[in-house]
């Protein structure tokens, strides 16, 4: 690719091309720079009207830190569903396992005070072990049989957490989880509850590390093996891929990312209880992956962020916005008077969320940012001719 460097940059296209080529060569650096940019921009945007009117910057940053947890969950599930093509509907189980691991490692319940940073690794490892354990019985299953078994596991974990009172304190959940300690770095010792900034920066750091690892995995021998299994398991096996270890690694790595999210979430909230980890979490994360564009790590992260913000900010603000408009009361035949301003949108948030899911899928069935490969599969004819044209024009330039 030395050709691109020799070309004289002319116009915007050449500049973006150059950035693209640098990005291609230094993936980890790109991730760091990209996340730093996003991480710096988000709080800035939230301080500008109209967003600043929806809440203080502190509220926004706290929300972004929570969104970060879902970004972690989504990129983890993306390994299982997007890369390896294994439909997992019980992903919240590993989230729960990560969270409970932290609750056992650092709370007044067990009396242990293991540092948060060690627990992050421990949570990831424990979740990975569970990923393998729960993945093992499903190896023979295909397609939707796998989906329902993972759904089952996803439900068994909260049921156990709910009913094994002696070990999990049942519905009350485990409280008094320790705050992470920054050991005086940036003048912080224990992460404060009132200040969301340390949490926000921590989750950005975790996401950066997860991104770097996952991008490298995607391009590795293992990543190619996942894609091979996704496309045709039998062919992959006959080409010498060990389908058992490849699938188990997908479960383990997907679960460990979720475990990281679980530990962080538990530490931030200070409480774990079984109701936090039901099906709706698994489904929401799956919706994030599909909406973002399966197989594309950045796309999935954006999908997670968008859905999280729709759920937690968008719908609330919509209600406030409509109320602020002072819509006159309509007189509609049959229905009588319709007062749009009087509708409590919070009550209808799941309706709007459902409508958003349906609408987004109908408009972009392949997701917002489909991975290159998937885009090819879907728009084979159109894009192939387009790219062929591009190739020839580049060839002409190069000559």
Binding site for another protein (CB under 8 A): 81, 85, 87, 137-138, 140-145, 147-149, 151-153, 155-156, 159-160, 162-163, 230-234, 279, 283, 286-287, 290-291, 294, 347-351, 353-358, 361-362, 365-366, 374, 378
State yes or no: cis peptide before 371, omega within 30 of 0.
no
State how far the Cα of 139 lies from the Cα of 137, in Å rounded to an integer: 6
Closest distance between another protein and the C-beta of residue 317, in Å?
18
Q: Least distance from C-beta 366 to another protein, angstroms?
A: 6
- Least distance (Å) from another protein to the CB of residue 51? 26
Instruction: Report, in Å, the least distance between residue 210 CB and another protein.
Output: 22
The first and second tokens of residue 294, run together, are 């399966």
Instruction: Annotate 174-225 with DSSP letters as a single string.
Output: EE-BPPPB-TTGGG-SBPPSS--HHHHHHHHHHHHHHHHHHHHHHHSHHHHH
Report the length, in residues, of the chain.
Answer: 399
Task: Compute the least distance from the CB of residue 66 to another protein, in Å.
Answer: 20
In the block, residue with structure tokens 């948030």: 349
Q: Which is nearer to another protein, 106 or 306 (CB)?
A: 306
- Residue 298 or 345 with smaller CB distance to another protein: 345
Q: Which is nearer to another protein, 120 or 315 (CB)?
A: 315
Nearer to another protein, 7 or 373 (CB): 373
What lies within 8 Å, CB to CB, of 290 at 6+ separation is: 81, 303, 361, 367
Q: Tell me how far, at minimum, the Cβ of 355 lies from another protein, in Å.
A: 6
CB of 331 to another protein, least distance (A): 20
Residue number with CB closer to another protein (260 or 289): 289
Asked if residues 86 and 233 have their Cβ atoms less than 8 Å apart, the reply is no
Nearer to another protein, 102 or 155 (CB): 155
Task: Calculate the dihedral angle through the C-alpha atoms of 105, 107, 112, 117, rounding to the nearest 10 degrees.
Answer: 50
Q: Where are the beta strands (DSSP E) in 1-115?
A: none
- Please give the Cα distance from 176 to 170 (Å, whole number): 15
| Separation CA 161–CA 173 (nearest Å) | 8
Q: Which is nearer to another protein, 18 or 312 (CB)?
A: 312
Beta bridge partners of 330: 338
Nearer CB in complex with another protein: 31/286: 286
Q: Sign of torsion, CA 256 261 267 272?
A: negative
Please tell me whether residue 7 adopts helix, strand or coil conformation: coil
CA 137 to chain CA centroid, Å, is 26
Coil, strand or helix at 65: helix
| Nearest C-alpha neighbor of 55 from the set 43, 65, 39 | 43
| Minimum gap (Å) between residue 49 Cβ and another protein | 31
Q: How many Cα atoms sit within 13 Å of 168 on the Cβ side? A: 20
Q: How far is the CB of 231 from another protein (least distance, A)?
A: 6
Closer CB to another protein, 153 or 200, in the complex: 153
């Amino acid at each position: 690719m030395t050709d691109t460097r020799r070309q004289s940059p002319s116009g915007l296209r050449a500049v973006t091309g150059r950035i693209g080529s640098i990005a291609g060569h230094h993936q980890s650096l790109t991730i760091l720079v990209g996340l730093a940019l996003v991480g710096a921009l988000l709080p800035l945007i939230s301080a500008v009207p109209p967003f600043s009117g929806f809440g203080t910057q502190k509220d926004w940053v706290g929300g972004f830190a929570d969104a970060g947890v879902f970004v972690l969950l989504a990129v983890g599930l993306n390994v299982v569903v997007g890369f390896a093509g294994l439909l997992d509907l019980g992903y919240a189980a590993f989230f729960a396992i990560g969270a409970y691991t932290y609750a056992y490692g650092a709370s007044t319940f067990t009396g242990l005070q293991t540092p948060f940073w060690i627990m992050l690794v421990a949570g990831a490892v424990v979740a990975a072990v569970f990923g393998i354990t729960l993945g093992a019985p499903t190896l023979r299953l295909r397609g939707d049989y796998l989906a329902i078994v993972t759904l089952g596991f996803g439900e068994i974990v909260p049921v156990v957490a709910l009913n094994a009172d002696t070990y999990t304190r049942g519905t009350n959940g485990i409280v008094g989880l320790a705050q992470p300690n920054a050991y005086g770095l940036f003048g912080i010792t224990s992460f404060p509850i009132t200040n969301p900034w340390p949490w926000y920066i921590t989750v950005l750091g975790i996401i950066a590390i997860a991104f770097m690892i996952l991008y490298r995995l995607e391009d590795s021998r293992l990543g190619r093996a996942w894609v091979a299994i996704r496309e045709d398991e039998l062919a992959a096996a006959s080409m010498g891929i060990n389908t058992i270890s490849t699938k188990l690694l997908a479960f383990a790595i997907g679960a460990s990312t979720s475990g990281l999210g679980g530990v962080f979430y538990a530490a931030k909230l200070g409480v774990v209880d079984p109701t936090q980890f039901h099906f709706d979490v698994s489904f929401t994360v799956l919706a994030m992956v599909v909406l973002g564009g399966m197989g594309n790590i950045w796309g999935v992260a954006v999908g997670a962020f968008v859905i999280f913000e729709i759920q937690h900010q968008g719908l609330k603000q919509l209600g406030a916005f409509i109320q602020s408009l002072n819509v006159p009361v309509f007189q509609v035949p049959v229905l009588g008077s319709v007062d749009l301003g009087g509708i409590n949108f919070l009550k209808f948030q799941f309706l709007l969320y459902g409508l958003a899911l349906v609408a987004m899928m109908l408009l972009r069935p392949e997701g917002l940012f489909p991975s290159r490969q998937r885009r090819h599969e879907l728009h084979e004819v159109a894009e192939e001719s387009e790219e062929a044209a591009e190739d020839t024009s580049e060839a002409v330039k190069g000559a």
